[in-house]
Structure 1
């Protein structure tokens, strides 16, 4: 199924609007052609007078015939203008509505795709699909669809008049039309892959620009402006070259079509004139045919632009519908579980997971009782964060199960599961809104009192009050007007306001100063008393009071226990503790020189 068929299949709800728009286009073209016919009739009236074509209908007076032609002209031009207004409004509204629905559907679908999908796609390429490619489709529907319909209708209508007035001349004059249409489709097939390359190249540029704008501080700090400008130059040059290949082919369409049109027009002009001088057709009919030949054939030069716009749009539509066709490997539907009824007991049973061919978790089994605070520590890449991502169902485990209050989380409604879990990560996501908007993010209508209470619990209230507009202060894109510690406290306040039965802190204090870490720790000591809390940390000082600490290495749990018991074991945890605190044990002491 080609891209256009897939688009029609997708846009079922707009088929009535599309049919009406097409009908208005056809009627507009019908009235658009009639003035040429009236010219021929007018010439016939002037030449033949009482013996003209109109005299057959009982109107023999020449002046009355001309007045009738004037009235018909007004009606025809009025009809043409009316239906032009109607088709433009209908096509443009259809383009806007379909663009709106397609963008929303594509975005909703992308949000439900697993994290693995985003690891293989750059943000810039997705932005190009969700924005630029959908806009290309809108441009085609705004004008291209109407142009295709009107060229087709023009060919049929003019062809009918030709065969009615001069069948022999019609066969000669209209002979180029099939060749023109075949040539246009021939060019289209060869343009399609070239425009697909153009859209890919546009995605690469978007990706590079998006990446550089997000990392502008680093680029400036490392004085890498010229280095990155060279990258943008290379990406833009690739885009220019791929566009040039498409332009070279699309530019050839119009000259080829023009030569075919010339043959048809010359045939009408010369052979039709010969027929008129020999009395085979009337002078009025000859005038009509000359005008109609121009009206039919010259607009066919626009097929080049239509074909170009069509192929650009189809390449874009193919990419958008490709995103919509990406399977959602993690189902959202399942057994409902109200957050207020969740106790927070977690069971990880023989859990294994690998990114591609790299094992990350291997046969992890443990149980966390409701209300416990459990920490996971270990070197980078040991599988700590992966455990949390599996709990949130960002990924699916290869083997094993995770159970929440005895329910396999794979069988639970995904929205219900995630509503039961509060998540604070090291990389805090904040929207371009106010402080209050970010604390209440995703929770609908929340009272200012509840927002302030959550901020106080996260020890964020004091610094928020010092901001220019307090809780109404706009914090900029990704919270760039705040410090790292301030952003982290806002994220914690957001999790507190959510009031989940399970709280997950994934390296939440790894990038903050000691004062902020101490403030966050005080907040956690309070809010973790009534809920199950999972803490992933590099700083062991933040987890020393946890009910249980699990040390992970190479995807497995190698040690478990309280802070004191793990120090007593003098194993991996004790070594990490000494490394971070600077303490030495007898085993760590250098050999005596005496």
Structure 2
């Protein structure tokens, strides 16, 4: 059954609702714990009203043994409640962690993200930590406040009235704590995200900063961001700690006030001496959950804000049922009025692209920097959204495919190559479980990188480290090319595939492109250097986000050369003519 939009917006809530039996168990444990908390009050009441007047040691021993037994049960139920809350947090993690991971990975492809992109993971950790901490226990104990006040009234109405007044004051303090910490807590979270993103960017550019003497200047910028974070965090802590200290002092003063009230009642002959101690202990216990809630309020506010952000993210990135599995593409790639740009942005980086490439062809996309080449490549394989038009494989738009199934038919070599920690074989096989050794070696041979891999310390089982740190830039690019060719995908998109290659690497690249063409695949090559186009038969010229020409490589390159050799005025007119001819060819 397909989830409705409303249900999708509350996926974490649904995960918690699945734990309702555990929450009922926590409620029952809390009820038993709060009933057993009366042990201390009634023990003191009996000691003062029965043991001391009768001077009976056996009675005192019996009361001590009974109290010890009840305290043991109380401790056991406290432990059970804590463990159940930890299990609930674990169940939430088990139900949502994979969903959160997918959302983190896909968010940069669909939404405009800020910072390091890991805010959702931190939010999820915040919610899980709060659930497994002492905060929920305080909220489970709060509903028992009227129960304790009622018993205070049974001791004497004056003690009950004092308890009610104290409770109202602590509730007001709780409200003020919430209002005082909400805004600075949110600002502190945002400042922390900016600080962390700056630190990660600095780490990625450590070589540049060191080589060009930027470390001092960037350190001052770091200080500015860290000062902002520290100031917002200090404000949040000051407010929370201030109200927490005030509530603690007030509860101690209230406990003394109850003692004084009990003393007056005893002096006036309206209550027994045991009421003095029992009422004081019971009042302190009645208000303890309120104080604990105030102490945990900062964590509660942070968890609530994290919960809201998680719901917002998951609502913006709903999961859908897997569409009908389509047959493997074998015939053509088409772009029909395709226009797109960065996810979450309101601007187009390319528009009105129309062309068709049949199986066995290789298309080179050329043009000056910022002409929309890489943006077009991302849209052709569904990484970036199509704002208008569509990209189609054998007539089926990309959104008609399940992403994992579509990935089997696509190979992609990005401009900035990034490998994962693991072995060379795992990276080539795209971390596919039980990957065939023959398929891995076949991909390496298709990329002409087999010999290079065999020269590594452990061959295909060489650990390459985080990001492929143990390999050179050229080695990473060639291993990534083998990854793109793994499984003989129908469509292979190579973005600046020769940027880090030597002459031998470029020759291997041309041979790899030809091998894809010979087996009936399609290759898209984004290039600045003409050597990358050696194995292509089609060329698409981009300029300022528009398709300027499309057709056989020799014809298009000849037109471009003629245009560049003419005077500016004539070249401009010829440029308009080429656009028209390119569109005619595309259609």
For Structure 1 versus Structure 2, the TM-score category normalised by the shorter chain is: 0.7 to 0.9
- Most deviating of 226-235 and 103-112: 103-112
The answer to whether the 8 A contact 2:350-2:544 is kept is: yes
Residue pairs, 1:265-304, within 5 angstroms: 265-297=255-287, 300-304=290-294
Question: Could you tell me how far apart the structure 2 residues matched to 1:332 and 1:7 are?
Answer: 18
Question: How many pairs were matched up?
Answer: 555
Question: Could you tell me how far apart the structure 2 residues matched to 1:354 and 1:138 are?
Answer: 38
Determine if the alignment matches structure 1 residue 503 to structure 2 residue 508: no
The answer to whether the 8 A contact 1:144-1:310 is kept is: yes
Larger Rg: 1 or 2? 1
Distance apart, 1:284 and its partner CA: 2.2
Distance change (3 Å), C-alpha of 1:528 and 1:294:
same
Alignment match, 2:120? 129
Distance apart, 1:358 and its partner CA: 4.5
Show CA shifts across 1:510-554 (max 9, x none).
232222112222222223311122222111122134222222223
Determine if the alignment matches structure 1 residue 88 to structure 2 residue 78: no
Question: Could you tell me how far apart the structure 2 residues matched to 1:36 and 1:79 are?
Answer: 16
Residue pairs, 1:89-108, within 5 angstroms: 89-108=83-102
Distance change (3 Å), C-alpha of 1:535 and 1:99:
same
Determine if the alignment matches structure 1 residue 350 to structure 2 residue 337: yes
Distance change (3 Å), C-alpha of 1:63 and 1:545:
closer
Show CA shifts across 1:53-96 (max 9, x none).
xxxxxxxxx45533431331232022112102211211122223
Determine if the alignment matches structure 1 residue 236 to structure 2 residue 223: no
Determine if the alignment matches structure 1 residue 461 to structure 2 residue 453: no
Q: 2:377 aligns with which of 376, 385, 388?
A: 388
Show CA shifts across 1:183-220 (max 9, x none).
21122122111111111111111111111122222222
Residue pairs, 1:274-423, within 5 angstroms: 274-297=264-287, 300-328=290-318, 333-339=322-328, 342-353=329-340, 356=345, 358-423=347-412
TM-score (ref. length: structure 2): 0.87
Question: Could you tell me how far apart the structure 2 residues matched to 1:188 and 1:179 are?
Answer: 14
- Structure 1 residues not aligned, in runs of 5+: 51-61, 577-594
Distance change (3 Å), C-alpha of 1:149 and 1:354:
closer
Alignment match, 2:105? 111
SS at match of 2:486: helix
RMSD: 2.8
Question: Could you tell me how far apart the structure 2 residues matched to 1:309 and 1:563 are?
Answer: 62
SS at match of 2:133: helix
Question: Could you tell me how far apart the structure 1 residues matched to 2:471 and 2:450 are?
Answer: 14
Question: Could you tell me how far apart the structure 2 residues matched to 1:173 and 1:108 are?
Answer: 51
Q: 2:438 aligns with which of 440, 443, 449?
A: 449
Q: 1:39 aligns with which of 44, 54, 60?
A: 44
Residue pairs, 1:509-528, within 5 angstroms: 509-528=498-517
Alignment match, 1:222? 212
Distance change (3 Å), C-alpha of 1:512 and 1:323:
same
Determine if the alignment matches structure 1 residue 480 to structure 2 residue 474: no
Determine if the alignment matches structure 1 residue 428 to structure 2 residue 417: yes
Question: Could you tell me how far apart the structure 2 residues matched to 1:307 and 1:505 are?
Answer: 52
Question: Could you tell me how far apart the structure 1 residues matched to 2:71 and 2:227 are?
Answer: 49
Distance change (3 Å), C-alpha of 1:298 and 1:84:
closer
SS at match of 1:223: coil
Alignment match, 1:592? none
- Structure 2 residues not aligned, in runs of 5+: 1-5, 567-587
Question: Could you tell me how far apart the structure 2 residues matched to 1:171 and 1:566 are?
Answer: 92
The answer to whether the 8 A contact 1:426-1:511 is kept is: no
